[in-house]
Amino acid sequence: MKDNFIQVADITDIDLNQSVSVEVGGKAILICNTENGVFAVEDRCTHTDIPLCGGQIVGNLISCPVHGAVFDLSDGSVQAPPAFEDLETFEVKIEDTSISVKYLK
Ligand code: FES
């Protein structure tokens, strides 16, 4: 397996505390612009496999828009139920305003 970074978005296109969903290698990844930096997590709430896109972001935390589970975007950890499984996270690289995520090929 080889590590790769792929350019997925531009920081100027994502307002603070907003997110965009991108697809990398057939997987939906949520790119989140927070006051603590840019984070990338799988765009799939582990509660019932519904996209997290559109969830409210406060600091490092995102709330699922469906039932309100809360995840820490910095490490994917669950912070509040009804989800119990952590999110997959992806390493982010920023060059100028360009955002890339690391994925395995
Ligand atoms: S689908 Fe996210 S908390 Fe239920």
What is the predicted pLDDT for the residue at 25? 85
Per-run averaged pLDDT (10 residues), the chain, 105 residues: 83 96 94 97 96 95 97 97 96 96 80
Q: How far is the CA of 96 from the centre of ligand 1 (A)?
A: 34
Q: Print the domain residue range for 71.
A: 3-104
Note the pLDDT of residue 99. 97
| CA–CA dist 22, 42 (Å, integer) | 10
DSSP states of 17-79: TEEEEEEETTEEEEEEEETTEEEEEESS-TTTS---TT--EETTEEE-TTT--EEETTT--EE
Residue 2: the pLDDT is: 56
Q: Output the pLDDT for position 87.
A: 97
Q: What's the domain count of the chain?
A: 1
Task: Write out residues with Cβ below 6 Å of ligand 1.
Answer: 45, 47-48, 50, 64, 66-69, 82-83
- Please state the pTM of the whole predicted model: 0.93
The predicted pLDDT at position 82 comes to 97
Q: Where residue 54 sits, what CATH number does that domain have?
A: 2.102.10.10
pLDDT at 105: 60
Cα-flanking dihedrals φ and ψ of residue 30, to 5°? -100, 120
